[in-house]
Amino acid sequence: MSPTRHAAARALLSDPLTNKGTAFTAEERDEFGLHGLLPPHVGTLDSQIERRRKALEEKESDFQRYAFLRELQDSNEVLFHALVQSDLPRMLPLVYTPTVGEGCERFSEIWRRPRGLFLSYPNKERISDILADPAYDRVKVIVVSDGERILGLGDQGAGGMGIPIGKLALYTACAGIHPSEVLPILLDLGTDNHARREDPLYVGWRAPRVRGQEYDDFVEAFVSAVDDRFPGVLLQWEDFAGKNAYDLLVRYRGRLLSFNDDIQGTAATAVGTLLAAIGRTGVPLTEQRVVLFGAGAAGSGVAEMLVQAMMADGLDEKAARAKIWAVDRDGLILSDIPRLPQQQLKLARDPAEIEGWNVSGQNMISLQEVVANVHPTVLIGTSGQKTAFDERTIRTMAEKVERPVVFPLSNPISRAEAHPADVLEWTGGRAIVGTGSPFGTPGVTQVNNVYIFPGVGLGALASGATAISDGMFMAAARRLGELSDDSHDGLLPAVTELRQVALEIAVAVAVQAQAEGLATAEPAALTRESIAASMWQARYA
């Protein structure tokens, strides 16, 4: 065999998009010169799945399983996705939350092969050249992060790449986006995490974070390069710090087909799950009293979508906002607090509203005091503050509400505002509980963005949307609420149904895009059948 053919055979095996391992047939081994490079046994995808599953379960920790799956993805994409799709309830926590948190913290320990792109600040003049690689010609979906606010873990620098990689694995698993059509990107603008910068294994740019105008200029160069290279691409902003998250969403949502999952995806998931929950309480959305703990990007996004949902159900804006009480690090958000972030201004309450409250008289009004005075029917946590929903707070809430709805949504588990088993105990089993991470507590729903963002992306692409509107996310939230499954204790469909959920969300989003005049695809492409037919299955070609 010629040296060229030898090289081509090895290239076929080393490319995760073409490698089939032992599943190459005898005919393929003849044609591509693979004899000798593979053991003689000709396997099947099913047998490979079982072999990998056995190896996975022999690992001693979930982090080791996470690292194992990452290596599998980098060697054989079809096998990786087939394994994930074969058992989503088992694999989802390993591929994404909660294990991805430790995966980001220890990313530099397990980095082996290139996946996605690290666009570092020293290479700011090379962005267009880097994106020009023909390997990316098919890209339709980009997930990008700058690693500054990874889950509830803060600044992880280049380790934040674990988030785009994980999110895009879910785009493929749930929405059927082909692995060659996704591209994870990390904007490496340094890190203010001293431990990461000083770690001798750290793979990122060892410098303090770039901020201000230099940051804005870098992101502008990135967006311009993406717009030129990938017309019509879907770009998902992920795990940017609060102000940057809002600023980038506002600045670029009209230029690129883009959205911020922490703001809009979390909001739609929370609102959709809340609609399912109140469907069981019998109390209309317009009669709910909501206390929101944590008013950063995620929490503020939830609040704004709740306002829009209440308005759609008949309240005016003033009445809708009066139903929501937002608490942040400085206590209840009041309009006389100086220098409130832009996203919190609309959430601020008039100090006159709390006259006569029974409070301690200190400078801030605590979460427990807000709960004691508001008597909320719904308590949502997006604060990253472990055990913030303590026994006193939950029992106080339950004194006045027959079926309290409690959503401690912060990730990972170590940052959750409460353990769901505790909430159920403190409420005598009356609470309806949803969590951001999987706790395994019977009757508790995981309020995971994976119920929303894959379907939103699929629907936007299928409809040829020119933009992703708030109305499209509202359509996604309402459809999710309608999918509430009474056949089991949870509020949402089982994780095993995530592909069907993504399809249902995609259809709702595509129809809404058409209704708003944002769809460019022919109506025939917006049907459930057409969208389902576009979803890739993990099978060998």
List, by residue number, the catalytic residues. Answer: 96, 167
Check whether 196 is labelled as a binding-site residue.
no
CA 172 to chain centre: 13
* End-to-end C-alpha distance for the chain, whole angstroms: 25
Phi, psi for 175 (deg, rounded to 5) = -100, -5
Which residues are within 8 A (CB) of 502 and not within 5 positions of it... i.e. 6 or more apart?
174, 175, 176, 454, 455, 458, 535
Check whether 262 is labelled as a binding-site residue.
yes
Token pair of 326 as six digits: 């937002």
Cβ–Cβ < 8 Å for 289, 274: no
CB-facing half-sphere around the CA of 529: CA atoms within 13 A? 2
CA angle 167, 170, 173 (to 5 degrees): 160
- Residue 408 DSSP label: E
Q: Which residue has the tokens 């492409």?
A: 525
Check whether 244 is labelled as a binding-site residue.
no
Residue type, position 530, single letter = S
Token pair of 464 as six digits: 């040829």
Residue type, position 56, single letter = L
In three-state secondary structure terms, 327 is strand
C-alpha to C-alpha distance for 148 and 239, rounded to whole angstroms: 7
Beta strands 432-435 and 405-408, pairing class? parallel
Check whether 129 is labelled as a binding-site residue.
no
471 sits in which H/E element: helix 470-482
DSSP 483-527: T--TTSSSSS--GGGHHHHHHHHHHHHHHHHHHTT---S-GGGGS
Dihedral angle, C-alpha 101, 253, 502, 134, nearest 10 °: -80
Which residues are within 8 A (CB) of 106 and not within 5 positions of it... i.e. 6 or more apart?
63, 159
Check whether 448 is labelled as a binding-site residue.
yes
Token pair of 500 as six digits: 């069907």
CB-facing half-sphere around the CA of 207: CA atoms within 13 A? 10
Check whether 238 is labelled as a binding-site residue.
yes
| Residue 320 burial class via C-beta count within 10 angstroms: exposed 0-12, middle 13-18, buried 19 and up | buried
> Annotated binding site for (S)-malate, which residues?
149, 411, 448
> Annotated binding site for a divalent metal cation, which residues?
238-239, 262
> Annotated binding site, which residues?
149, 238-239, 262, 411, 448
